[in-house]
Structure 1
């Protein structure tokens, strides 16, 4: 009887040790990397971009090239109307004839494993986490625009832009619709610890006979420099 009781206690102690060991391993297990740093939010971060924009006008058959810079500054953190932590971003513009001047206000936040941005009074879903080649989502889920099925087409790819050597970038096709008379292509690239580094837009009407561009615009915004304090 005594031997049986000791065996029972030994079994209980052994089971308890296994349970404690499992809990300890779970507690100390490394958390999965959700790659939130593809959309960093930090006060005082500054990203400067070079922008080339080409506008085609079939009214006077002209092609006009605009070149300028944009500067995004994360100026503060606050609670938004829904009670979530959000960041205020001020965008400035610089041209060949005018120094930096305020252009617009942008707000960004991370919520429920998605990165959101409010731009020109519309909320967009820029990224979802963890990002992968299988990641797809509706970028216009929270605005009144048509459904745009965003898709990640490359991830964790090194990229050099000018003097900026970026260890890991991901590419997003936001929209891609091409036919004989129209091209709409919207692409974005994000880098870890930097955020948006490239934005490309092609929105043009074409002559169905010649394929020549009749009207519309092309736009490329590319990282020039970035800094954080």
Structure 2
């Protein structure tokens, strides 16, 4: 009797262990699309065209985004001071244009505070067609970001994600904004097209730009200093 009881107890124990193992779900593996450490810098080629009623202006320059120091924010969490410096074509030196802040919580979120306006750039888990409010931490009203092309290549970068921040269009205007992030790196491309089209009878529907900006920012180099 004791022997039979021992066998039953042993079988029950093995079955319990197996059930516990079956219920264990591995943690979802995420890819880091905004890797950042103190001293990192990124150089971007920027092409910008501004339209107005009187003239159109083309400009090109190199943008340096650097993260030389960290600090504890109001929540007691680590943030990076984000220096944005510009070097015009033909100029030997960079000039600091603004200082933003960046807060990265791996596999959770990325918040970039642009001139005292925080934007939720990435919000994990990163899934195809995921939507979130990029303005949730500011007072500018709801702006739904949409995630597409998760894990897809972009140019020379084999694994990226694309965030569509805005994509509104009609016969009189176009507002298109995207950012592309690469695995273990960060922002590699940014494009903004916020323009108004001519509403004159002879131009209507032809997409003739009369006001606005077209902005393209492409990664040239990155490193640590």
> What TM bracket, shorter-length normalisation?
0.7 to 0.9
Verify: 1:180 aligned to 2:171, yes or no: yes
**Which of 35, 45, 66 is the matching residue for 1:50?**
45
Please provide the CA RMSD for this pair.
2.3
* 1:55-90: CA deviation from partner (whole Å, max 9, x where unpaired): 1121xx211011111111122333211122222222
Structure 1 segments, 4+ long, off by >6 Å, are 24-27
Does the alignment pair 1:16 with 2:7?
no
Q: 1:177 to 1:21 in 2, by over 3 A?
A: same
| 1:73 lines up with 2:66 in the alignment | yes
Match of 2:220 in 1: 224
Q: Deviations over 1:169-194 (max 9, x none)?
A: 11111001111211111111110111
**TM-score when normalising by structure 1:** 0.85
* TM-score (structure 2 length as normaliser): 0.87
Ranges in structure 2 where 5+ consecutive residues have no aligned partner: none
**Residue aligning to 1:167:** 158
Structure 1: runs of 5 or more not aligned: none
Q: Distance in 1 between matches of 2:15 and 2:83?
A: 54
Residue number in structure 1 paired with 2:151: 156
Cα distance change of structure 1 residues 14 and 74 upon mapping to structure 2, 3 Å threshold: farther
Q: Which of 82, 87, 105 is equivalent to 2:80?
A: 87
The number of residues matched between the two structures is 218
Q: Offset of 1:14 from its aligned partner?
A: 3.4
Counterpart selection for 1:123 from 99, 118, 138:
118
Which residue number corresponds to residue 194 of structure 1? 185
How far apart, CA to CA, are the structure 2 residues paired with 1:11 and 1:45?
Answer: 61
Pairing partner for 2:135 from 140, 154, 170: 140
Of 95, 98, 103, the match for 2:97? 103
